Structure 1
Amino acid sequence: MSQQHAPISSKLPVLMHGADYNPDQWLHDPAVLEEDIRLMKLAGCNVMAIGIFSWASLEPEEGRFTFEWMDQVLDRFAANGIYAWLATPSGARPAWMSEKYAEVLRVEANRVRNLHGMRHNHCYTSPVYREKTSILNGKLAERYGNHPAVIGWHISNEFGGDCHCDYCQEAFRDWLKEKYGTLEELNKAWWTSFWAHTYTSWSQVESPAQHGEMMVHGHNLDWRRFVTAQTVDFCRHEIDSVRGVNPSLPATTNMHMIEGLDYRKFSEILDVISWDAYPTWHEYKDDSQLAASVAFYHDLYRSLKRKPFLLMESTPSLTNWQPVSKLKRPGMHQLSSLQAVAHGSDSVQYFQWRKSRGSSEKFHGAVVDHVGHEHTRVFQDVAYLGQTLKNISEVVGSATPSETAILFDWDNRWAVKDSQGPRNMGIKYEETVYAHHRALWKQGIATDIIGSEDSFDGYTLIIAPMLYLCREETGRKLEQFVEQGGTLVTTYWSGVVDESDLCHLGGFPGPLRKTLGIWAEEIEGLYDYDRNGLELSASNELGLSGTYEAHEICELIHTEGAEVLGVYTDDFYAGRPALTLNRLGEGRAYYMAARLKDDFLNDFYTAVAAEAGVSRALQTELPNGVSAAVRTDGTTDYVFLMNFSGESQQIELDERSYSDMESGDSVAATFELPVNGVKLLKRRSI
């Protein structure tokens, strides 16, 4: 059965390779553009993201537009087989606008309006800002919407932050009125009777602030939801302003690892998902733990639309804004870039093409260094990758089928970190999710990262670590999933509050209590030096044995139909359940009452995946630090073997027949994978 998606652009139905390109920084030197075209072709780059911060060059004075330089760039692109993601430049407005229209500048939570400067220092609600973006975007669309070099719209850049101006306060109140209808319902949802917070007029409601209200959890949660809604609405406003001339051009916006915005809401209005990845490679000799967390985010962004995404920004060498700016070691550029492709990206792109001569990112890695030619290690790395991407473009549009999913909701993320619960020194929500995902990644198990509002159909195994905010509807969906034969795994601090951040009454884990067959009576945070243990019961269902260390969080639970697979070893709750299994309908639900380390998670998920019948990329044991990922078109599987261990590793393939993805030659069943090595294989799909 075909599992092929259409290419993101029919103009460029290959793996995209390119960078953010800022020719407006070099308008004083026309020779730079000519040299850039030569170097782009030499590096195997076929697409550039252009105009991202070009507002001042496109509209240097209000109402005076200067498109000639953009004409020249795009025309030369078209003549040389290079394409463009054309950006709307709203990420940074020109100084003339800030000077003339103060309302476009963002107001911080302290209610002080910012000065001109930085990026995204503007108000998404401001009528003036919306009008100005619409005018410029419309002119860009009219002039370039049908240009042969343009393959899509790059909307703004890394949306983020919030504004607390009077426009935003009114918009927040209107959003709340739409959601709750009456103040009575709002007061009930926010539990404002606590500390006499009750509102008697809509005008009393303001955004959270450290010098005002910031301790009402439902208030905080709704503000974050509103900020996402308002930012999505601005993004939609931008898309609408460019869409009319050529509706067939896809629109994307480059996302980042930003906590403050719920990117699932953006996926509803975008045609393709793209994101920016900047890992701190080589902090340790073994990069595998970092690689697993990067894989999590690749999986997340792929899962937003369940089809290939774009790696819109990465660095070919280093950044200049991380605590330590470390160079990629030999092989790491190829390895880290192909990791994105392995997990579903149809592009590898960089920030930026040519290093800026001045300002805050003049030392940020780029394809072309200040020396200005191709005779650099980094340029050669990029060119080598460019050839590889050209050789393997048959993977474009191929799918990443998964029988396993991790539940990861932004509002749960916000709520659990705002909970003021068992461990305020660090609840480590993300780290916990990464740890569960990492145990699957080590086995080569493809994993989608989904939200509670997504469909659970097609999954065999769903993992929901720390599902603190659990709606009644989510509880019913998970109960039905298990009853119909699915396997669910969840943990401590789950089923605690509803969508308004109000505690479920009648016992935790609230809507999951029947599914899990347990009652969680108490939870405590442990000091860093505290330890407990999990002792597996003899002849338990999973066939595991021995004792594993528990730390940081432990929960006291009672079984209500669940069977005990393991008990605590220490303290006053020694002998009480720490790991349980509940059978419901045709399926199973596991519960971990304590935070357990990688050794347990690895053993546990190996057993659970086998029991659930979840498929792996390879039916063989891979060395530590080596990962495997598969994309498929339904006829051919594309297998990526990646060595993040920091050491050369011996690889043994399973019994299936493999060929090299680039050369087509047969591959031996055993081979050496060097440090930072990657092996690209093909096999026939089953």
Structure 2
Amino acid sequence: MTSEQRTHTPEHRLKRLHERLGGIAYGGDYNPEQWPRAVWDEDVRLMKEAGVNLVTLAVFSWSRLETADGVYDFGWLDEIMDLLHANGIGVDLATPDAVPPAWLIARHPDILPVLADGSTFGFGSRQHFDVSHPAYRAKSLAMAEKMGERYAAHPALCMWHVNNEYGPVSYGPHADRAFREWLQAKYGNLDELNRAWSTDVWGQVYSDWAQVNAPAQPRTWSNPSRRLDYHRFTSDSMLAHYKAERDILRRHTSDLPVVTNFMRFYKNNDYWAWAAEEDAAALDIYPDPREEDAHVAAALNFDLMRSLRKGQPWLVMEQATAAVSQWSVNVSKLPGKMRLGSYQAIAQGADSILFFQWRQAKGGTERFHSGMVNHAGPDTRVFREVCELGRELKNLAGITGARSTAKVALVFDWDCWWALELGNSPRSDLNYAQEVLRLYRPFFDANITVDFVDTTSDLHHYSLVVLPASYLLTDDAARNIEEYVAGGGRLVASYLSGIVDQDNTIRLGGYPGALRNVLGAWSEELHPLAADAETVKLSTADGGTASAGYWTEHLHTTSADVLASYASGRLAGSPAVTRNSFGRGTAVYLSARVDNTFLEELLDAERTAAGIRPELDAPLGVQARRRTGDGRSYLLVLNHNDAPARVDVGAGGTDVLTRTRITGAVELAANGVLVLEEAAEEHVRTHAETGR
């Protein structure tokens, strides 16, 4: 490995970014082309007032940068880049290929994606491209080359931002061709394809590669193995285009981070594969202000972003200051909620707080989406909160690069997600993300830090692993889980785990086929409950009672102990929840969707038995997270309640925001935040006590 290769790692690129910015990145998307030139000077003045140190430029600017085929106009972008640099503001420069311009669509109308029903995605929105189209690929790569050449040495440039929220799926002729090529590379020959797709079912056997195409809308149901492969292909093809742009930009600026922005609970792209190709995971996060517990789903997404690159700090690329135009009822965040949500992201590993967008648009689709400067101008509650947050974040420069440690892992896997929600299953209404969230929430409420892993991850440094509806498990994944438990790990698996193999075909011999040995139990039939309100009673081994709804199974034990049995319904007397000793570890199986109280008590017992303790004992609704690194330790305490909460921080530390010493019991204001820099010796003692 050369000296340059060692220096230009993702970690070093990010460290250099934050050194240039003086700490946490703060700012957002800036669209100066939407405003008269006179507004630009006011913008940079207000940015300095707000503490902005980074803005994202050119995300939607293709039509202004290339006004006709091969006719480029970078003058306005040069001017704003120079102006921002002169005022000490860095630039995250985007390649604008999320929005192919009208002239390109007029020349190549088949760039527009074809939907599954054969209709064509129209011009007038964004992401209106088939990523497999050769003209789209050639023109967008040419733009990346032009921008790399022109701005590589510009002193304002701090980071590259490729495209925006990748995601369009196409079923047109260009996708057909690319899908066949992808399948030929994967399977090699048609015999192997026919085997993997079980094409003898319903006589779908292929005898020539020309017969294979994208799984457009069929008469009734479509082959689930074929559709699963199309999900994989779609993610891979978009990722390949990202990598092509990234490589161009990296050739010009090997020392700068290159990222694209991910989305909350986004299904189309396998972010495990994507994150491995980026310098940082970057998230667009828009919780619905109407949901009282929206911060819990946000927390899951934050932990997922932190986990995608094995604990490396990540970036908030977009969030809203107030109202979010995508919701049917556009409720504005209450005072203090924007600040609280920003600190929550930092507590869970973020090293940037960026917004969409700097100045609220006066026209277009997102004209009611809030900005850092809203329609009423800077003399507003929102801008005052923006400025106050900017002042506070300057005190947190030392937290950049710090990480969190977890001993609990939850599996979140895109193959599982795709396979589980293809339909034609005993419950086609199951929502994978909500299943994961349900098993995540008890840990969040208990202030237990959670890592997310995929089915290929090394599990051995975790004390507890949870499989939420891990429907698809490969042979290697099943062996990985068995080896983890046999080596002394603790496993909790929920229903609908281990049902199918990598080809989305059923594992025979009883459900859950991939996990029968480690669980010491098997089901002969799956029994989803007919009505949403239907429940059955459970009796527990210790004489207690519980209930279950939505899902049950006819379960048999081979070596497992029964923790709870069905006490009513057609399965009365059969096991419902089991625990099996396997090697030096244990594996719990939930064959039913048990009630929340039982689930919380079970997970609490499992993590307690594993020696896992909370970051801080605190009232419900008060979140505590710890970030450590380079001899520093920060404890962040967040009150998500709309009333004050009393919290005992023990030995405490120095309040980073006020520079005062805080110990013992403190009252945290409603939606309040406490950031403590802990003494090094206290950090070591606390981690020794909690087993982390």
Structure 2 Cα separation of the partners of residues 401 and 13 of structure 1: 25
Deviation at 1:668, TM superposition (A): 3.7
For 2:277, which of 255, 258, 269 is the aligned residue? Answer: 269
Report the residue type matching 2:341 in the other structure.
S
**Range with bigger deviation, 84-93 or 289-298:** 289-298
8 Å contact kept, 2:113–2:168: no
Q: Which residue of 2 aligns with 1:441?
A: 444
Structure 1 Cα separation of the partners of residues 560 and 28 of structure 2: 54
Q: Which residue of 1 aligns with 2:504?
A: 501
**Distance change in 2, residues 1:114/1:565 (3 Å):** closer
Report the residue type matching 2:460 in the other structure.
D
Instruction: Note if 1:423 corresponds to 2:427.
Output: yes
Instruction: Note if 1:207 corresponds to 2:210.
Output: no
Instruction: Note if 1:380 corresponds to 2:401.
Output: no
8 Å contact kept, 1:103–1:128: no
SS at match of 1:381: helix
Structure 2 Cα separation of the partners of residues 148 and 411 of structure 1: 42
Deviation at 1:636, TM superposition (A): 2.9
Number of residues of Structure 1 aligned to a counterpart in Structure 2 = 666
Deviation at 1:211, TM superposition (A): 4.0
For 2:29, which of 20, 29, 37 is the aligned residue? Answer: 20
Deviation at 1:442, TM superposition (A): 0.9
Q: How does 1:618-637 map to 2 (within 5 A)?
A: 618=616, 620=617, 622-633=618-629, 635-637=631-633
Q: Which residue of 2 aligns with 1:355?
A: 360
Structure 2 Cα separation of the partners of residues 624 and 301 of structure 1: 24
* Residue-by-residue CA offset, 1:28-47 (whole Å, 9 max, x unaligned): x2111100000001111110
8 Å contact kept, 1:628–1:641: yes
8 Å contact kept, 1:88–1:155: yes
**Range with bigger deviation, 107-116 or 162-171:** 107-116
8 Å contact kept, 2:163–2:260: yes
Instruction: Note if 1:243 corresponds to 2:241.
Output: no
Deviation at 1:467, TM superposition (A): 1.3
Q: How does 1:592-671 map to 2 (within 5 A)?
A: 592-618=590-616, 620=617, 622-633=618-629, 635-653=631-649, 655-671=650-666
SS at match of 2:125: coil
Q: How does 1:80-95 map to 2 (within 5 A)?
A: 80-95=87-102
* Residue-by-residue CA offset, 1:47-93 (whole Å, 9 max, x unaligned): 00110001111111222211111111111211111101100000101
Deviation at 1:634, TM superposition (A): 5.8
Structure 1 Cα separation of the partners of residues 628 and 227 of structure 2: 42
Q: How does 1:129-140 map to 2 (within 5 A)?
A: 129-140=136-147
Q: How does 1:191-202 map to 2 (within 5 A)?
A: 191-202=198-209
Structure 1 Cα separation of the partners of residues 677 and 251 of structure 2: 42
**Range with bigger deviation, 85-94 or 514-523:** 514-523
8 Å contact kept, 1:208–1:214: no
Structure 1 Cα separation of the partners of residues 122 and 621 of structure 2: 47
SS at match of 1:571: coil
Q: Which residue of 1 aligns with 2:564?
A: 566
Structure 2 Cα separation of the partners of residues 95 and 301 of structure 1: 35
Report the residue type matching 2:627 in the other structure.
R
Q: How does 1:416-495 map to 2 (within 5 A)?
A: 416-424=420-428, 426-495=429-498
Structure 1 Cα separation of the partners of residues 576 and 218 of structure 2: 42
For 1:164, which of 138, 161, 171 is the aligned residue? Answer: 171
Structure 1 Cα separation of the partners of residues 556 and 213 of structure 2: 42
SS at match of 2:570: helix
Report the residue type matching 1:350 in the other structure.
F
Deviation at 1:479, TM superposition (A): 0.5
SS at match of 1:319: coil
Q: Which residue of 1 aligns with 2:581?
A: 583
Structure 1 Cα separation of the partners of residues 226 and 315 of structure 2: 35
Structure 2 Cα separation of the partners of residues 99 and 509 of structure 1: 52
**Distance change in 2, residues 1:101/1:441 (3 Å):** same
**Distance change in 2, residues 1:211/1:218 (3 Å):** closer
For 1:326, which of 331, 336, 351 is the aligned residue? Answer: 331
Q: How does 1:171-190 map to 2 (within 5 A)?
A: 171-190=178-197
8 Å contact kept, 1:422–1:553: no
| CA-based RMSD | 1.6
Q: Which residue of 2 aligns with 1:155?
A: 162
Structure 2 Cα separation of the partners of residues 394 and 643 of structure 1: 23
Deviation at 1:117, TM superposition (A): 2.3
Instruction: Note if 1:52 corresponds to 2:47.
Output: no
Structure 2 Cα separation of the partners of residues 478 and 236 of structure 1: 32
Q: How does 1:113-124 map to 2 (within 5 A)?
A: 113-124=120-131
SS at match of 1:421: coil
* Residue-by-residue CA offset, 1:163-189 (whole Å, 9 max, x unaligned): 222221011011111111121111111
For 1:391, which of 386, 391, 395 is the aligned residue? Answer: 395
For 1:370, which of 375, 381, 384 is the aligned residue? Answer: 375
SS at match of 1:582: strand
Deviation at 1:473, TM superposition (A): 0.8
Instruction: Note if 1:316 corresponds to 2:325.
Output: no
Structure 2 length as normaliser, TM-score? 0.94
8 Å contact kept, 1:472–1:498: yes
Q: Which residue of 2 aligns with 1:541?
A: none
Structure 1 Cα separation of the partners of residues 654 and 116 of structure 2: 58
Report the residue type matching 1:320 in the other structure.
S
Q: Which residue of 2 aligns with 1:513?
A: 516
SS at match of 1:514: helix
Deviation at 1:419, TM superposition (A): 4.5
Report the residue type matching 1:23 in the other structure.
P
* Residue-by-residue CA offset, 1:188-243 (whole Å, 9 max, x unaligned): 11111111112222122111122458521001100000000100011112112222
Deviation at 1:385, TM superposition (A): 1.1
**Distance change in 2, residues 1:212/1:145 (3 Å):** farther
* Residue-by-residue CA offset, 1:234-287 (whole Å, 9 max, x unaligned): 11121122222111111000111221111111112211110100001243xxx3
Structure 1 residue runs without a partner (length 5+): 539-544
Report the residue type matching 1:219 in the other structure.
R
Structure 2 Cα separation of the partners of residues 218 and 518 of structure 1: 27
Structure 2 residue runs without a partner (length 5+): 1-9, 685-692
SS at match of 1:431: helix
Structure 1 Cα separation of the partners of residues 473 and 464 of structure 2: 18
8 Å contact kept, 1:292–1:438: yes
Structure 2 Cα separation of the partners of residues 457 and 656 of structure 1: 32
Structure 2 Cα separation of the partners of residues 552 and 145 of structure 1: 56
Q: Which residue of 2 aligns with 1:409?
A: 413
8 Å contact kept, 2:190–2:206: yes
Structure 2 Cα separation of the partners of residues 671 and 473 of structure 1: 49
Structure 2 Cα separation of the partners of residues 219 and 335 of structure 1: 44
Higher relative contact order (Cα pairs below 8 Å, separated by 6+ residues): 1
**Range with bigger deviation, 346-355 or 657-666:** 657-666
* Residue-by-residue CA offset, 1:94-123 (whole Å, 9 max, x unaligned): 111111122322222233444422111112
Structure 1 length as normaliser, TM-score? 0.94
SS at match of 1:244: helix
Identity of aligned residues (%): 35
* Residue-by-residue CA offset, 1:112-160 (whole Å, 9 max, x unaligned): 4444221111121111111111221111111111211111110000000
**Range with bigger deviation, 16-25 or 179-188:** 179-188
**Range with bigger deviation, 48-57 or 446-455:** 446-455
Q: Which residue of 2 aligns with 1:542?
A: none
